[in-house]
Amino acid sequence: MIKVGIIGATGYAGNELVRLLMGHKEAEIKWYGSRSYVEQKYASVYQNMFEIVEDTCLDDNIEALAEQVDVIFTATPQGYLAGVLTEEILNKVKIVDLSADFRIKDVSVYEEWYKLEHKSPQFIEEAVYGLCEINREKVKGARLVANPGCYTTCSILTAYPLVKEGLIDPNSIIIDAKSGTSGAGRGAKLPNLFCEVNENMKAYGVASHRHTPEIEEQLGYAAGQEIFVNFTPHLVPMNRGILATEYATLYRKEDGTYPTYEEVKAVYDKYYKNEKFVRVLDKDVYPETKWVEGSNYVDVNFKIDSRTGRIIMMGAIDNLVKGAAGQAVQNMNLLFGLDEAEGLKLVPMFP
């Protein structure tokens, strides 16, 4: 059995990790770390775990934890792991970090967008960006995995095949994304109160959301060049889910025409036909958050607008599963040579 420790077990992503790992045949949770609930029973924080988890929350002592487990998930705010990580810890245990501390390779970009000084930049280069469908082989040999953000997972996978194959101008990409409120975390914040969110929809982080450089960096690798995108997130009054609608200019073919539906579909199938968790939908069937809720699936599709020479790409995920905990478990499975889908064979919930 893989011995698992979770730091930040009482946040939404941490609780989702617990839920998924309870159904994992090869993993056993040894440590429920939570700075806010030390010595409280985990099931008193999340009553859904009553008579399922009997353990008490411990602190976030990563050095002690590294002596007891095989892998640590850090579902913590930005800056935590970078502030405590050492070579000694990484020599003892594998880490899957759900924060942004090691996602961005340029430390100055991280510090600019997150307004934090990076305390352990020496580990950035070796950290593997844990988007399994793109970096699977790199993840397998890693000590430190940077689990991608929720918006970024959806945004990148939706456009990646067309960027990689050069069908679209990557600098023309506009991403309009909408997320349920769980993406903002469990902390009490005025903008996330029921009366503020219910019966309302709003844009936030306009031209400044910190997932922007992460999207640009990863799609830039696919394009083979530095790119810039417009990314605008919106908050919608639902618990879970992300829907990304992305627009880009198609390149014309040598004969002056635009790619056909069949040609674009073939590109998506080239990259995703054998991917367990990416579902390319049938023609004119578009992704909806309700059809992926509670699962590790990414649903994607597209529509060509020949009138404007643009393409509309759409993707949907559950932000707490494929956008956080599910992807983290998927990375753990790769790290330990397990079936990538172990613990993640979840049928989407409906209604």
Q: What is the DSSP letter of 182?
A: G
Report residue 255: phi and psi, to 5°: -85, 5
Active-site choice (57, 132, 150, 154): 150
Q: Is the separation of the CB atoms in 127 and 90 below 8 Å?
A: no
Residue 119: count of CB within 10 angstroms of its CB:
14
**Residue from 341, 5, 21, 332 nearest 147 by CA:** 332
For residue 115, the SS3 value is coil
Secondary structure element (H or E) that encloses residue 158, with its range: helix 150-164
> 67: burial class by Cβ within 10 Å (0-12, 13-18, 19+)?
exposed
Query: What CA–CA distance (Å, rounded) separates 275 from 122?
Result: 33
Tokens read off for 107: 């430390």
Query: What CA–CA distance (Å, rounded) separates 262 from 285?
Result: 15
Tokens read off for 219: 């799609």
Asked about 57 being catalytic, the answer comes back as no
Pairing of strands 230-235, 202-203: antiparallel
Just list the catalytic residues. Answer: 150
